[in-house]
Structure 1
Amino acid sequence: MEAHVSTPAFSSDGWSPARNSSPVMKGIHAMLHPRNIVLVGATEKPGNYAERIWNNLVKYKYEGGLYAINARRDTVWGVTCYKDFASLPERPDHVLVLVPARFVTQVLRGAAAAGARSATIVTSGFSELQDEESQRLAAELNVAVRETGIAITGPNCLGNLSAGQKLFTNIDDRIVTMEQGAVAIAGQSGAIVMMIRQALEDRGVGVGYMVTTGNEAGLETPDLMAYFAADPSIRVIVVYLEGVRNTKAFRAACKAARAAGKPVIALKLGASEGGRAAAMAHTGALAGSIESFDAISTREGVIRVRGLDELVETTECFVHAKVPTGNRLAAVTLSGGKRGLLIDAFHSAGLQFPPLGRDATDKLATMLGPGSIIGNPLDAGFAAVVDPSVYLKSINIMIDDPDTDIVIIDAELPKAPHELRERNLCMVNEMAAAASKPVIYISPISVGFTEHTKTLRKSLPSITVMQGMDRAVGAIKALVDYASLNKDVPDIASSSKPQARALLEKMLNSARSNSLDEIASKKLLKSYGIPISKEGIAHSADEASVIATKIGFPVVAKVVSPDILHKSDIGGVVLNLNSAAEVKKAFNEITARVKKLRSKPKLEGILIAEQLQADLELVIGASLDAEMGPVVLFGTGGVDIELTKDVALAGAPIDASEARRLINRTKAGVKMKGYRGKPVLNETSVIKTLVGLSNLIADADGRIDSIDVNPFLLSTKSGVAVDALVVLRNGTTKSSDTTT
C-alpha cells in the first residue's frame, strides 16, 4: 500500500478560521484538518500504539497524505518507511510522536523545522510523573513548544478524531461513525474522552471532533473550546477537566461558547480531596475546589455534571431538544405509577406540572368524555385501551398548548421492530419538527440500545430520547436554566479607590509575616469600604481600661499577633467585659497565655473592641483558588460554620448585582429578608462589604491567599466586621499552637 495523495482539508461546511484568527485557532484547524499525517516511531511490534493508529487511519480512509518514519526501517506495515522528515515526498503537516520520552523534544523541533504545523505527542513520561528526570523532560518540552510555535496536543494523550476529515489518530479499535456530528469533545484523559465518544455514538449522538489533550504542554482544553465555539458544525461542547491552568482563557472560551449559543457540558475531577490528588497524579494539573469551579463556571454558562451517565443524558438533551421559552411542563403517560414518579422526580428539581391551559383542558375533556380526570401529567392509559388514537391526540394537544413550554412523554424506544410504537414515534417526530418547543421521551429506567434501536433513533431527529428518571430530570433542569441565561456576560472590573489600592501595596510590600494582624487587616478592609467596629489596641492593662471606657461597655478583649491565626483556640478572646477591672484582668490573662505558648509568637498588644449585639452572624471572606483564582464567599457565620456549611461563592471581583445574587443563594439570605416575621436586616452593608472584599482580593493579584471576616454582625440598622484576618500568599503558620 502506498501513501495517500495530499488534498486540501476543510470542515464539511467549508468553514475555516478567518485570516485574522489567532495562531492558536489556526494551529488547531491545522491539527484537525491536516494536509498529511506523519507517524514518527513506526514499529511492527504487535499491538503497539503506532500500528493501531495507522490501522485506524487506513480503515477510515483518511484522504490526506499518510507517512511513517523510522530511521532503522525501510518498510513497515507493508508500506515505505522513511528515515527522517527530509526524505518525505512532501513537507510534513501533522506529526504523531510515539518515540520514547527522551527523544520527543528532538522530534518536535525537527518537525517544526521541516514545516509541520501541528503535532500529537502520544508518549508519556513527563509532568504526570514526579521523578527528577520526567520533570526535566517536561521543562525541555515546554521550552520547545514555545520556541517552535507548533500546535500540539499531549504529551501523554491518545489521539484525536475529526469525523468530517475521516481522521482518527487514536488507538481505539471500536467502531467509529465517521459523520460530522454536532458534538465536540475535549479532555485531559484519553480513556475517559474515548469512553464518552463511544457512549454518545451508541445513543445515536454524532461526534464531530474528539481531542485528547493529556498533560497540555501546548494546546489546553480552553483553546479547543474556543475553536469549537467558532465552528458552525458544532452545537454542544463536552469537556473532561482534571485541572484549569489558565482561568482567564477558560472563562473567555466559556463566554465565546455562550455567545454562540453552545452549551459547555463539563465533567470536572476534584469534587473530593482524593479526586484532586488523582488529578495532580494523572496529568500534573493544579486542582482547586469544586465549589470555586462552580462559582465561576456556572456564571459563564457551564453545565457541570457529576458522572458519565449524567453527561450522556445531558448531551443528548442539548443536542436534540429545542430551546424552551419557560419551565412549564406537560406530560403524557400510560401508567398511574409512572405518573407519580414523574411528579416526584421533577418536584425534587424545583420543576412542576402546572394545570394545562383552558383550551387544552377543554379539548382533552371532549376527547376523553364525561367523568375523565384531566391532570398534568395526564394518565391516558385507560382511555388509550378503549381508543388507541387518544395517546397521539393527547400529545398533539399538549404540543399545541400555548401554556406549555416542554412536552414529556413516558416511553422508551423498542429494541425490536414494533409497528404500532414505531408509527407513533414517527408521528410524534413530525409533530415535534413543526413545534417551537422541545418534545422529550423519558424512559424511567435505562434500556440498552440494540442495532435496531440505534437505527430507529437516527430516524427521529426532532425528539429527545432520555433514559433514567433522575438523570433526565437533571438534564431538563439544566436545559431550562441555560435557556434563561443571557448570551453575553459582562466582565466586572474592580471598583476600588486609588487610596485603597495604594494602602494595599504599602502593606503587602512592608509585610514581615505570613499574615497581617487584626489591626492591619481591619485598617485595610476599612479602606475598601468595609464597616469596622469601634476599637483600640492596648499595650498595658491601664491603657486597655481607658480604651474600654471611651468605647463604652460591654467590650471584648482579643490578642493581636500576626503569628496567631485562631485566637479563641489559645484563649486569646474574652467576651462580656463590663467594667474597667474586668478589662484589666482580661488583658493580663491573655498576655500570660500567649507567653506560655511553645512557638513564642510576637505579641503586638490586646485589642479592645465594642461588643455588639446582632440579629444574625455572617461569614464573609475571600480566597485564591488554586485553579480558578480569586473568589469571594458569603454565608451563615459563627463557630458552627463548618457544621452548617451554608455558604456560597462567586468569582471576584463582583458588583452590587452579583453580590445580591450571591446572598440569595444562601439560607442566610432568606433570614436577612425577614424570615417568619423577624425584622428585615440591613442588606446594603452586606453588599458593600462583599463588593469591597472582592475588589481587595482581585487587586492583590495573587499576593493574598485568603481574607476571613468572621463574624460579620448584622442587624436591622447596620453590619459590622468584628474580626478580620488577611493571610498572604505562600504563608505558613509557625506552630501547631496557632492553628485549629
Structure 2
Amino acid sequence: MEYNGSHSTNSLSIESLMRPSSVAIIGVSTKSGTAGQVVLNNLVTGGYDGDIFLVGRSGGEIDGRPILSTIDELPLGVELAILVLPSAAVLDTVKACVQRRVKAAVCFASGFAEMGTAGRELQQHISDVARDGNLTLLGPNTVGYFNYVDAFYVMMVQLVLPPKLDPSAGPAIAVVAQSGGVGTHVAASLRSRGVPLSYMMTTGNEAQLSLAELIEFFAEDKHTGAVIVYAEQIRSATSFLTAVEHARRNGKGVVLLHPGRSQLSQEAAKSHTGALAGNHAAMQLITEYAGVVTVDSLEEAIDVGQLLLRYPEAPSGGLGLVTASGAICGLLQDYVEPLELDLPPLGEDQILALKEHLPDFLPPRNPLDLGTLFTYQPELIELGVRHVLADPKIGSLIISLAMPGPEASVNWLEHYLRGSGDSQKPAIFVMQNEDVPLAPAFVELAQQHGAVVMRSPERAVRALARFTRFGRSQKAVSPASLAAESRLPHFRLGQGPISEWRGKEVLSRLGVRVPDGALATGVDEALVIANRVGYPVVLKAQEATLAHKSEVGGVLLNIKDNSELCRAWSRIQDNVHRALPGLNLDGVLVETMNDHGLELVVGASRDSQWGPIIMVGLGGVWVEALGDVKLLPPGLPASAIVERLQTLKASKLLNGFRGSRPVDLQEVARVVSLVGRVMQERPEILEIDINPLVVYSEGQGAAALDALFICEDPASTPTQDVSQ
C-alpha cells in the first residue's frame, strides 16, 4: 500500500523533516531505555499526532504499537524515517528507504567522514544513494533537532521538552549548528532569556543537507526573524552566501560562529565532523562583507543573535552609556578602545536638555553618570536614555545599573522603555549582579516589550562593538558608496610566477607608477638604459622563481656611474650563480633609484573557496617582522579602504609623524582598489604582491618598487570567486 501524506515534497524536502505527517523509527528494540524508545517518547511527549511506524529486526511491540520486522513492510511514501542504527547498517537502510519512497531521513550514527578516507567514501556513497532516490538526508552524526513551531522534537536523548512557540511572541531565532552540543547550548541560553526560538537544527557531517539549504528554508519561514549558525566547515561558499543574501532580502540577519583560527581548532573540527580546514581569515572577511555578522565566541553568538532579532539594522555610530556608577564609566571606557568602538561626546542640544534636570555635580556627558539621584527620581533614567539616543553621533546604547529590589527593578525598566520609545538604535538594559535571578515581573515586562536584557556590562559592550563593526562594514559597501568602473586594459600573463620586470610592465599598463628602467640582457644594454634614466641606478637580477633577490645578492643599490655599473654587473652575476648554480637569469633590471617614502605592502591571494582577498599594511621587511596588515575584500570604495588603513597599528606614520607630512592615502586606496579589480577580472591570477609600495607625501602619489604575480594556466578552470 502507499501512505497518502498531507505534504507535497520535492527532491530536497526540508518540510518533510520539519513537520511530517508520518514517521518511521527504524532500529527500535523492546528493551527499555534504548535510543529508539527515547526518540519515540520525545515525539509522543511533544504531542506529535501523526502516524508513527516502528521497525526493528526482533519485532514485538512498544506501548501497543507493533514493530515491523523489515522496512519493506512500511507503506509507500512515509515522510520521515528516523534511523537509530549503527553506521554499518546505514547504507542498506537508506537504500531500502528509497525503495519505499520515504521522503526524508535523519541519521544519528557516527563513524563516517570524521573517521578518515574510508568513512568519507562511505558517507559520500550514502549521500549519492539518497540524492538519486529523492530522499532528503539530515546527518549522519547529528543529535537531532527541535521544531518549536509545531512542538516536533527529534532527539536521541531523553529531554525535558521545551514549550511550543507562542506565535504572538513575534519573530523568533532559528539555530543551526554542525555540533549538537553547541546548538543545544545556544538554544537553551536564549530560551533562559525569554528569547523566542523557531528551530534548533544540528546538521552533523552534512552528507547531503547543509547549512545553506537550512538558511534558505529559514529565509522563507514566517516564524523566523534571525539565524544563528555554528559551522566547523562551510562546504560551498557560493551556496552559503546565496542563502545569506536570500535571508537578508527577507529582512533576516545571520550570525556565524566558525572555529578554526588556530591549527588545534582546525584539527578538533576535523576529528568531530570530518570537516576539512579552510582559510578562516578569508571566510571571516568575505562572509562579513557579504552580510553575515561573524563572531568569535559562544557568548557573542548568543548576545549578537538576540540583538539582531530585535534590531535588524546594525548601527554604525558610537556607543552611549547611561549608568549610576563612576567605576562602570571608567571600566567601559577601557573596554571600548581595543574593540574599535568609541564614546562620542554629546551634542550641544542634548547637553542643554539634560542640564535642565541634572544638578551641577552630575555633568551631562557621555558616559552619563546619574549617581544615586535616580533612585529617588527614576524619571532621570527615561530622560537620560531619551536624550543620549537622540544624539546623531550615538549608534547604540547601554544602560547599566546595579540590581535593586523586585519592585524597583520593574519601575526602572518601565522608565527605560519609555525613554527608548520607538528608537531603532540598538539598546541593552544591563541589570548587574548577574548571579542573582531577576524578578519574574521584570522578566515578563522585558519579554512583553522585546527589551534586550543582559547581566554583564562587559558582554554588552562586546556584543555592541561586534554589531557596530558589522554595521560599519555594511555601510562601506552599500550600493550608494560603489561607482561603476570601466573594465581594465588587457594584458598578457604566462603560467606560474611572473618575473618582476614583467609584473611592473603590467602595473604600468594599469596606471601604477613604477621606477623608470628596463630589462638588460648584457652590460652594454645596461649602460644604455642607465644613461637614459640617469644615475644613480639599481640593478636587480631577474628570473621568475627568484622571489627573494636580496638574499642571494641579486640587488645592488645606488650605482653612480658607468664604471661602477660594469663592476656591479659582474658582481650580481657572480652572486646569483654562487648562491643558485645553474639558474639562468632573464637578465638584470636597471632602474632609477627611487626617492624615500613610507614603505607599504599591497598584496592579494585567491582562496580556492572564497575567492580573492586583498592585504595592505606596513611593507618592506616590516611586513614579516610586525605583521601590521589589514585584510580587505575586493570592491571596497576608496573611503572604506582609507578607513581601514587608519586602523593599522602604524597609522601614526600615515598621518604625519614627528614633522613628516601625511602620506598620499588616496593613491594607496586607488592601488588597493585596482589590485582588487585585477583579481576579480582575471581569475587565472592566484597572487599579487607589491612590496614595497613606496608612498609619498599627500598629493605626490606612490611607486611600486617590486612586484610579483603568480598565475595558473589561463585555459584551466577558473578558481571559484564568491567575492563579487
Tell me the TM-score range normalised by the shorter chain.
0.7 to 0.9
Pick closer, same or farther for the CA change 1:413–1:616 going to 2, 3 Å: same
- 1:623-658 CA-to-partner distances (Å, cap 9, x unmatched) read 122542211112221101133333222233556566
1:101 corresponds to 2:87: yes
Q: Are the aligned partners of 1:93 and 1:118 in contact in 2 as well (CA < 8 Å)?
A: yes
CA distance in 2 between partners of 1:451 and 1:90 (Å) = 53
Q: CA deviation at 1:225?
A: 2.1
CA distance in 1 between partners of 2:673 and 2:223 (Å) = 41
- Alignment partner for residue 22 of structure 2, among 36, 41, 47? 36
Three-state SS of the structure 2 residue aligned to 1:235 is strand
1:274 corresponds to 2:245: no
RMSD: 3.7
Equivalence map 1:7-156=2 (5 Å): 8=6, 27-43=13-29, 48-75=34-61, 79-89=65-75, 91-131=77-117, 133-156=118-141
Q: 70-79 or 232-241, which moves further after superposition?
A: 70-79
CA distance in 1 between partners of 2:92 and 2:43 (Å) = 25
Letter in 2 for 1:33: R
1:244 corresponds to 2:234: yes
CA distance in 1 between partners of 2:645 and 2:238 (Å) = 25
Alignment partner, residue 474 of structure 1:
462
Alignment partner, residue 202 of structure 1:
192
Equivalence map 1:355-366=2 (5 Å): 355=346, 358=349, 365-366=356-357
CA distance in 2 between partners of 1:36 and 1:564 (Å) = 67
Letter in 1 for 2:701: S
CA distance in 2 between partners of 1:614 and 1:571 (Å) = 22
CA distance in 1 between partners of 2:498 and 2:236 (Å) = 29
CA distance in 1 between partners of 2:350 and 2:490 (Å) = 64
Letter in 1 for 2:286: I
CA distance in 1 between partners of 2:352 and 2:108 (Å) = 61
- 1:319-374 CA-to-partner distances (Å, cap 9, x unmatched) read 345868774655443433334334444455433263477578556645x6676655
Letter in 1 for 2:377: V
Q: 590-599 or 615-624, which moves further after superposition?
A: 590-599
1:719 corresponds to 2:697: no
Letter in 2 for 1:390: Q
Q: Are the aligned partners of 2:251 and 2:312 in contact in 1 as well (CA < 8 Å)?
A: no
CA distance in 2 between partners of 1:53 and 1:383 (Å) = 57
Pick closer, same or farther for the CA change 1:324–1:412 going to 2, 3 Å: farther
Sequence identity, in percent? 26
Q: Are the aligned partners of 2:402 and 2:431 in contact in 1 as well (CA < 8 Å)?
A: yes
Q: 473-482 or 214-223, which moves further after superposition?
A: 473-482
CA distance in 1 between partners of 2:303 and 2:560 (Å) = 63
Q: 70-79 or 196-205, which moves further after superposition?
A: 70-79
Letter in 2 for 1:155: P
Q: CA deviation at 1:589?
A: 3.1
CA distance in 2 between partners of 1:84 and 1:494 (Å) = 64
- Alignment partner for residue 251 of structure 2, among 239, 258, 261? 261
Letter in 2 for 1:275: S
Letter in 2 for 1:35: S
- Alignment partner for residue 410 of structure 1, among 400, 417, 428? 400
Q: Are the aligned partners of 2:429 and 2:451 in contact in 1 as well (CA < 8 Å)?
A: yes
1:394 corresponds to 2:380: yes
1:351 corresponds to 2:320: no
Q: 691-700 or 369-378, which moves further after superposition?
A: 369-378
Letter in 1 for 2:400: D
CA distance in 1 between partners of 2:693 and 2:442 (Å) = 58
TM-score (norm 1): 0.83
Three-state SS of the structure 2 residue aligned to 1:249 is helix
Alignment partner, residue 143 of structure 2:
158
1:586 corresponds to 2:577: no
Q: Are the aligned partners of 1:317 and 1:466 in contact in 2 as well (CA < 8 Å)?
A: no
- Alignment partner for residue 202 of structure 2, among 192, 212, 221? 212
Q: CA deviation at 1:265?
A: 1.6
Pick closer, same or farther for the CA change 1:341–1:460 going to 2, 3 Å: farther
Letter in 2 for 1:125: G
Q: 259-268 or 41-50, which moves further after superposition?
A: 41-50
TM-score (norm 2): 0.84
CA distance in 2 between partners of 1:48 and 1:225 (Å) = 32
Q: 608-617 or 418-427, which moves further after superposition?
A: 418-427
CA distance in 2 between partners of 1:720 and 1:552 (Å) = 18
Q: CA deviation at 1:413?
A: 6.3
CA distance in 2 between partners of 1:661 and 1:339 (Å) = 27
Three-state SS of the structure 1 residue aligned to 2:460 is helix
Alignment partner, residue 226 of structure 1:
216
Alignment partner, residue 440 of structure 1:
428
Q: 5+ residue gaps in structure 1?
A: 10-18, 731-740
Pick closer, same or farther for the CA change 1:496–1:316 going to 2, 3 Å: same
Equivalence map 1:539-554=2 (5 Å): 539-554=521-536
Three-state SS of the structure 2 residue aligned to 1:712 is strand
4+ residue stretches of structure 1 with deviation over 6 A? 491-494
Pick closer, same or farther for the CA change 1:103–1:546 going to 2, 3 Å: farther
Q: CA deviation at 1:620?
A: 0.8
Letter in 2 for 1:117: K
- Alignment partner for residue 689 of structure 1, among 667, 671, 689? 671
Alignment partner, residue 12 of structure 1:
none
CA distance in 1 between partners of 2:64 and 2:567 (Å) = 92
1:623 corresponds to 2:608: no
- 1:566-601 CA-to-partner distances (Å, cap 9, x unmatched) read 222333222222233333333333333333447854
Letter in 2 for 1:141: I
CA distance in 2 between partners of 1:489 and 1:54 (Å) = 50
Q: 5+ residue gaps in structure 2?
A: 166-170, 714-724
Q: Are the aligned partners of 1:432 and 1:438 in contact in 2 as well (CA < 8 Å)?
A: no
- Alignment partner for residue 160 of structure 2, among 156, 163, 175? 175
Q: 272-281 or 637-646, which moves further after superposition?
A: 272-281
CA distance in 1 between partners of 2:618 and 2:573 (Å) = 31
Equivalence map 1:531-570=2 (5 Å): 531-570=513-552
1:574 corresponds to 2:520: no
Q: Are the aligned partners of 1:258 and 1:488 in contact in 2 as well (CA < 8 Å)?
A: no
Alignment partner, residue 462 of structure 1:
450
Alignment partner, residue 301 of structure 1:
291
Pick closer, same or farther for the CA change 1:695–1:361 going to 2, 3 Å: closer
Letter in 1 for 2:690: V
CA distance in 1 between partners of 2:588 and 2:354 (Å) = 78
CA distance in 1 between partners of 2:334 and 2:452 (Å) = 21
Q: Are the aligned partners of 1:313 and 1:472 in contact in 2 as well (CA < 8 Å)?
A: yes
CA distance in 2 between partners of 1:453 and 1:298 (Å) = 38
Letter in 2 for 1:691: S
CA distance in 2 between partners of 1:259 and 1:53 (Å) = 37
- Alignment partner for residue 690 of structure 2, among 698, 703, 709? 709
Q: Are the aligned partners of 1:203 and 1:449 in contact in 2 as well (CA < 8 Å)?
A: no
CA distance in 2 between partners of 1:691 and 1:374 (Å) = 43
**Number of aligned residue pairs:** 696
Alignment partner, residue 235 of structure 1:
225
Pick closer, same or farther for the CA change 1:84–1:399 going to 2, 3 Å: same
Letter in 1 for 2:124: A
Q: 333-342 or 213-222, which moves further after superposition?
A: 333-342
Three-state SS of the structure 2 residue aligned to 1:219 is coil
Q: CA deviation at 1:193?
A: 1.4
CA distance in 2 between partners of 1:521 and 1:153 (Å) = 49
Three-state SS of the structure 1 residue aligned to 2:541 is strand
Q: Are the aligned partners of 1:516 and 1:726 in contact in 2 as well (CA < 8 Å)?
A: yes
Letter in 2 for 1:707: I
Pick closer, same or farther for the CA change 1:530–1:69 going to 2, 3 Å: farther
Three-state SS of the structure 2 residue aligned to 1:705 is strand
Pick closer, same or farther for the CA change 1:139–1:643 going to 2, 3 Å: same
Q: Are the aligned partners of 1:244 and 1:287 in contact in 2 as well (CA < 8 Å)?
A: no
Q: CA deviation at 1:472?
A: 0.5
